[in-house]
Amino acid sequence: MLVITCIKQVPDTTQVKTDPVTGTLIREGVPFIVNPFDTPALEESLRLKDKYGFRVAVISMGPPNTEVSLKKALALGADEAVLLSDRAFGGADTLATSKVLAEAIGRLSQKEEVAVVICGRQSIDGDTAQVGPGIATRLGYSQLTLVDQIQNLDLSAKKVRVRRKLEGRHEIVEAPLPALITVVREINQPRYPTVPMRLMAEDAEVILWDNKVMDLAKESIGLKGSATQVRKIFSPERAKGEILGDGLNAPEDAAKLLIDNLVEKDILSLEQT
Amino acid sequence: MSYNIAIFIAVFVAAMALFSWSCFQRFRLVTLGKAENRFNDVGKRTWNMLFFAFGQRRVVSRRFGLNHFMLFWCFLILMIANTEFLLNGLFPDYISLSRLPDGAYYTLAFIFDVVSALALLAVCIAIIRRVAFPPPNIEARSRDAFIILTLIAILMIAFFGLHASEIAQGIEEAAQYMPISNFAASAFMSGASADSLSWLANFFWWLHAVVLLLFLNYLPYSKHMHILTAIPNCFFKSLEKVNTQPREEFTKGSTFGVGQVDQFGWKGLFDSYSCTECGRCSDNCPTTFTGKPLNPRLIIHDIKVNLLKNGPLLAKKKEAVLPLIGNSEEGTVSEEAIWECTTCGACMEVCPVFIEHVPRIVDMRRNLVEMKAKFPQELLNFFENIEARSNPWGIAPEKRIAWAAETSVKPFEADKTEYLFFVGCAGAFDARNRRVTLAVSKILDAAGISWGILGKDEMCCGDSLRRLGNEFVFDRMAKENIKMFEDRGIKKIITLCPHCYSTLKNDYRQYGVELEVTHHTELIGKLIEHGGLELNGSGDLGNMVLHDSCYLGRYNMIYEPQRKAIAAVTGQLPTEMEHHHAGSFCCGAGGGRMWMEESIGKRIHLARTEEALKQDPKTICTCCPYCMTMFEDGLKDKNVEDRVQVLDLAEVVAGALK
């Protein structure tokens, strides 16, 4: 049985700046990290491995340097890492990305039965949360998003029961396998790699699948296969606030000044409800 | 003398065989430890042995240390007497003191007589002390201690009994030179019949012989093993800074750190035999003091128990049966204890025989982190932040320069700039400590020093990583830092943080790089001494107490520059707390504890703050950003932050610049 985790290598957003003129991300010199939503996804796969003895495969679509992130996954305990990298895959939106990932999962499932695919809920650079559901739809897997607990995995009945974290409530859902699960960060505390595993991963092989291997129609992948295109990236302008008082008021006076102004602007109401 | 030589030879051979076998069994286990070179620089080692073992330098620094000093030297002198006693027993016709020229014989007889009395006195003092006013550590009343003291006392009494009865018989030529034996003879044996005197002599001779051999055979099985190991342990003492422990080679198939007793270096195992359980280490340990499960003495004791239990099995290539790290039973060190250590070094500072507690704790941390990835949860973020962004908080590296927004700072330029000001993570990111950074920069400018910074390219020195046992990542960071220093032509560095200081200066030397590293405390001290700073001498800072940071003081012996600087600025030396200089009490943040929760026992920073407040200070002066944070927190916890302030030495001096 195989558990697959899809990861994305993203620029470290704390270190990203946008070019004020062109509005595009300045990627030069910015370090890359594994999308922070994907590390709990990998951790959950590794926990299934620990519990059920599944094999864990990690796949990622991206430029060749994505290998670094895949090796990190190997150091954490993944058994196999596949890099989907080809110029033809570049410029993909969520539609074209999910196409390549779904095809890769399909190829893996031909060799070994897939129990679940686990993805992070979204990436921190694109923030769409669409790739996971896209993969599920393409493969016809059960789609379980925003999961914060995998409660039961019944292999004989081929069912999985999970808890979804929704706003203000939880939802417990049962679905047939194979399933695609996207997880929220609260689901677990990811592990830290041991040194022997790191050393092993340093010269472990990352399998490369380019489009010669994948053999996908050019119209369905990359920029051409994308239904959306980014026109412009910009930081929204914020209306400047207003400084009240002279900054030297006593705390009580400052609080009163603030409340009076909030009431005046109808932001706050003093009437009892 | 009418003892039976044949019986004695048999007893002697059996006792010596048993003793040799016991020693072989014990010392064989030491060879299970990993190789480490403790035989280099024999001259220095010999000096250490003479000064610290024979001179008992650290023993005498405590109350009753003098008593041990006396007993130790009596013991050495009486070793000659006892050797003669045994040899004379074996070869009565050939070996005897009385065969020496009269002058030498009488002198030795006098010395042995007096020294035996002194030994008996020392033993009595030791017993009375243990019974009447025992030191705070309960081990003083151990069965072991009383057995050995009793054996020594009997030995001395037998000595006097034997010689007194010989004097009374009139067969001791040196009688008039043996005042105590002579006194005993006249006091207790005058008028006794020749037969009974002969019987007494025989009795005391056998008593002396049997107790001596018993004593010898008891040693290897008790804490008094230190009689055999303490002297060599001082010879094998680390010549490096003790917290600078050996690097690890990261090759596939190796194990890292110590998870099983035979993975310690051999000296670590030898240490465990040298512990006398005097308890000085735990008396001085800030974690033991604040009620945490770490007791440095017990760590060493557990290593010994574990070695004795597992060693014989491991020597036969069998599996160990007692885990080294785990639930805290005797012989097993608990994970809590391992993580509580602040690596402050107070234990090692007072150990009379230079046992290395902290490196053993870090050895075990290495195993937990590197082999098992097992550590307190809050460290995960810390490790990941350091790896991803090279600072503990995971703040974007370009923010490293934010402290300099209000001032003009130049980047370090090879061949143009003399000193790199290595700001450090706390100095760059922590709001309070940034003010210290500004103060240091002001002093550097005032002194006309050519300095520059690395700005966003500066990386963490890796101190906390190393003390927390994450040697793998430390190793990588040290190499990256050293490469950057070399690429940019950096040879002289000024640091603000004692942890950066000690790491760059001592730990990086293991990578073959010699950097001239100066802590701002040293620099300020030198500048003031040579008139390099113009001070207006005012600065109403009130009563000022000074806190000695562990990594500046104990590990690098910098105590005086800060005191002289304070005296120059305020006109008087700082007030000392109860614990100061080498005996200083940790703020609680060293050894990576800065990044961990402190949930067991009293919080260390609070204990230290309370100690400072006893001196009723208006200002607490620190020289370390961690200490700064801990005292600031402590003052807030005690609700006195409006009347007591914490200032770094740099702020004290910068505030007094003309």
Whether the Cβ atoms of residue B477 and residue B465 lie closer than 8 Å to each other: yes
Q: What is the 3-state secondary structure (H, E, C) of B196-240?
A: HHHHHHHHHHHHHHHHHHHHHHHHHHCHHHHHHHHHHHHHCCCCC
**Domain chopping of chain A, boundaries:** 2-220, 241-273
Residue B324 lies in a domain: yes
- How buried is residue B637: exposed, middle or buried, by Cβ count under 10 Å (0-12/13-18/19+)? middle
Cis peptide bond upstream of A36, omega within 30: no
Q: Does residue B245 form part of some domain?
A: no
pLDDT at B138: 57
pLDDT of residue B474: 98
User: Which tens digits make up the pLDDT trace of B584-595?
Assistant: 999 999 999 999
DSSP code for B77: H
Q: Which one is predicted more confidently, A18 or B49?
A: B49
Tell me which residue has tokens 């770490």: B294
Decide if B348 is inside a domain: yes
pLDDT at B278: 87
For residue range B619-657, list pLDDT tens digits in order.
999 999 999 999 999 999 999 999 999 999 999 999 998
Question: Within this chain, do residues B213 and B362 fall inside the same structural domain, yes or no?
Answer: no
Q: A182-198 pLDDT, tens per residue?
A: 999 999 999 999 999 99
* B393 assigned to some structural domain: yes
Q: pLDDT tier at B66 (50, 70, 90 boundaries)?
A: very high
Q: B165, B189 in Cβ contact below 8 A?
A: yes
Query: Each residue of A94-128: pLDDT tens digit?
Result: 999 999 999 999 999 999 999 999 999 999 888 89
Is A116 in CB contact (< 8 Å) with chain B? Answer: no
Whether residue B562 is found in the same domain as residue B435: yes
Burial call A250-272: b when 16+ CB within 10 Å, e when fewer:
eeeeeeeeeeeeeeeeeeeeeee
Please answer yes or no on whether B472 and A198 come within 8 Å at the CB atom.
Answer: yes
A77-86 confidence digits (pLDDT tens): 999 999 999 9
| Domain co-membership, B357 together with B421 | no
pLDDT the model gives residue A30: 77
Q: Which domain holds residue B450?
A: 381-654
- Residues 6 or more apart in contact with residue B227 via CB below 8 angstroms: B75, B219
Q: What ipTM was predicted for this assembly?
A: 0.89
- Residue B137 has what pLDDT? 63
- The alpha helices in B488-624, defined as continuous H runs, are 498-502, 520-529, 560-570, 604-613
Query: B534 versus A250: which is more confidently predicted?
Result: B534
Residue A107 contacts B, CB cutoff 8 Å: no
Contact assessment for residue A144 and residue A173, using Cβ atoms and an 8 Å cutoff: yes
B381 touches chain A (CB under 8 A): no
pLDDT cut 90: percent of chain B above it = 85
- pLDDT band of A27, cuts 50, 70, 90: low
- The tokens 């999962």 sit on which residue? A105
Kindly list the residues from chain A whose CB atom is less than 8 angstroms away from the CB atom of residue B256. 195-196
Residue B316, burial from CB neighbour count under 10 angstroms (0-12, 13-18, 19+): exposed
Amino acid at B273: Y
In tens, the pLDDT along B401-445 reads: 999 887 889 999 999 999 999 999 999 999 999 999 999 999 999
Pairing of strands A159-166, A169-176: antiparallel
The pLDDT score that the predictor gives to residue A261 is 86
**CA gyration radius for chain A?**
23
**Which residues 199-228 of A have a C-beta within 8 angstroms of B?**
199-200
Q: What is the arrangement of strands in the sheet containing A2-6, beginning at the earlier edge strand? A: A169-176, A159-166, A142-154, A179-183, A114-120, A2-6, A55-61, A80-84, A207-209
Banded pLDDT at B319 (limits 50, 70, 90): very high
DSSP string for A46-62? HHHHHHH--EEEEEEES
Strands (E), B158-206: none
CB contact, 8 Å: A194 with chain B?
Answer: yes
The answer to whether position B249 is within a domain reads no
Nearest CA in chain B to A36: B384
Model pLDDT for residues A128-162, shown as the tens digit of each residue: 999 999 999 999 999 999 999 999 999 999 999 99
Three-class SS state of B337: helix
CA distance B376 to B569: 43
Q: List the beta strands (DSSP E) in chain A.
A: 2-6, 9-11, 17-18, 25-26, 32-34, 55-61, 80-84, 114-120, 142-154, 159-166, 169-176, 179-183, 207-209
Handedness of CA B125, B127, B133, B138 (dihedral sign): positive
Quick one: pLDDT at residue A273?
A: 52
Interchain pair A195, B250: CB under 8 A? yes
| A198 close contact with B: CB closer than 8 A | yes
What total number of domains does chain B contain?
3
Q: CA of B263 to nearest chain A CA: how many angstroms apart?
A: 16
- Contact of B388 with chain A, judged by CB distance below 8 Å, is answered with yes
User: B5 exposed, middle or buried (CB, 10 Å; 0-12, 13-18, 19+)?
Assistant: middle
The owner of tokens 């151990």 is B142
Is B462 inside any structural domain?
yes
Span B55-83, mean pLDDT? 92
More confident residue, A23 or B372: B372
In a domain, B587, yes or no: yes
Residue in B with minimal Cα distance to A11: B388
B538 pLDDT band (50/70/90 cuts)?
A: low
Closest residue in chain B to residue A193, using alpha carbons only: B373
Whether residues B387 and B330 fall in one domain: no
Which of the residues A68, A76, A192 would you substitute to probe the B interface, choosing the one with the greatest number of B C-beta atoms within 10 Å?
A192
Residue B37 is given by DSSP the state -
Question: Are A192 and B372 inside 8 Å of each other by CB?
Answer: no
Task: State the pLDDT at residue A23.
Answer: 61
CA distance B354 to B276: 12
Q: Residue A24: what pLDDT?
A: 62
Q: B194 with B285, same domain?
A: no
- CA dihedral of residues A109, A111, A113, A115 (deg, nearest 10): -50
Q: Which run of H or of E encompasses B421?
A: strand B419-422
Q: Which residues contact B339 (CB under 8 A, 6 or more apart)?
A: B365, B375, B376, B596
- Whether residues B252 and A12 touch (CB distance < 8 A) is answered with no
Q: Specify the pLDDT at position B422.
A: 98
| pLDDT score recorded for residue B135 | 74
Percent of chain B surpassing pLDDT 70: 98
How many Cβ atoms from other residues are within 10 Å of residue B107's Cβ? 14
With cut-offs at 50, 70 and 90, classify the pLDDT of residue A233: confident
- B539 φ, ψ (degrees, to nearest 5): 80, 90
Comparing B30 with A241, the larger pLDDT belongs to B30
**The domain boundary residue, chosen from B204, B220, B235:** B235
The whole-angstrom separation of Cα B639 and Cα A245 is 30
Asked if pLDDT for residue B447 goes beyond 70, the answer is yes
Q: Which residues of B touch A12 (CB under 8 A)?
A: 388-389, 396
Cα B581 to Cα A28: distance, rounded to the nearest angstrom = 49
Interface of A with B in 170-189 (CB under 8 A): 189
Helices (H), strands (E): how many in chain A? 7, 13
Closest CA to B299 of B327, B331, B251, B266: B331
Of B220, B235, B250, the one marking the end of a domain is B235
Q: Cβ B398–A189 below 8 Å, yes or no?
A: no
Same domain, B359 and B495: no
User: E-assigned strands of B449-606?
Assistant: 451-452, 492-495, 516-519, 544-546
Q: Is B372 on the interface with A (CB under 8 A)?
A: yes
Check B388 against A33: CB less than 8 A apart: yes
Of B567, B561, B573, B570, whose CA–CA distance to B527 is shortest?
Answer: B561
Lowest mean pLDDT, pick from B238-247, B261-270, B447-456, B569-578 = B238-247
Sequence-ordered list of residues with C-beta below 8 angstroms from that of A223, at least 6 positions apart, any chain: A90, A91, A92, A96, A229
List of chain A residues whose C-beta atoms are within 8 Å of the C-beta of residue B396: 12, 14-15
Pick from B371, B398, B420: which residue ends a domain?
Answer: B371
Contact A47, A99 (CB under 8 A): no
* B435 and B323 in a common domain: no
- Compute the nearest-CA separation of A169 from chain B (Å): 27
pLDDT at A234 over 80: no
Q: B462-485: per-residue pLDDT in tens? A: 999 999 999 999 999 999 999 999
Collect contacts of B316-324 with beta carbons under 8 A, ≥24 apart.
B320/B260, B320/B261, B324/B258, B324/B259, B324/B260, B324/B261, B324/B364
Whole-angstrom distance, CA of residue B117 vs CA of residue B178: 11
| Test the A interface: residue of B247, B248, B250, B475 with most A CBs within 10 Å | B250
CB count within 10 Å of CB A152 equals 11
Q: Are residues B555 and B610 in the same domain?
A: yes
Question: In angstroms, rounded to a whole number, what is the distance separating the alpha carbons of residues B422 and B517?
Answer: 10
Interface test with A, best of B248, B251, B370, B375 (most A CBs within 10 A): B370
Rounded to whole angstroms, how far apart are CA atoms B573 and B558? 16
Mean pLDDT of chain B: 94
Task: Give the pLDDT of residue A84.
Answer: 97
The residue assigned the tokens 């000001």 is: B421
For the residues A63-80, what does the mean pLDDT come to?
96
- Stretch 455-514 of chain B: residues touching chain A, C-beta under 8 Å: 472
Q: What is the CATH number of domain A2-220?
A: 3.40.50.620
Mean pLDDT of chain A: 91
Q: Scanning the structure block, which residue is given the tokens 């796949």?
A: A59
In this structure, are B607 and B512 located in the same domain? yes
> Which two structure tokens, joined as six digits, stand for B426?
């706390």
Dist CA B75 CA B81 (whole Å)? 10
pLDDT at residue B141 in the model: 76
List the helix and strand counts (H, then E) for chain B: 26, 7
Q: Residue A239 CA to chain centroid, in angstroms?
A: 32
Residue (of B435, B646, B658, B657) closest to B541 by Cα position: B646
Q: Is the pLDDT of residue A22 over 70?
A: no
Q: Does B561 fall in a domain? A: yes
Average pLDDT over residues B181-197: 90
Phi-psi region of B592 (alpha: psi -120 to 50; beta: other; left: phi over 0): left
Distances (CA, A) of A47 to A7, A39, A191: 16, 12, 10
Mutate: best of B248, B251, B252, partner A, most A CBs <10 A:
B252
- Both B203 and B134 in a single domain? yes
Is residue A253 predicted with pLDDT exceeding 90?
no
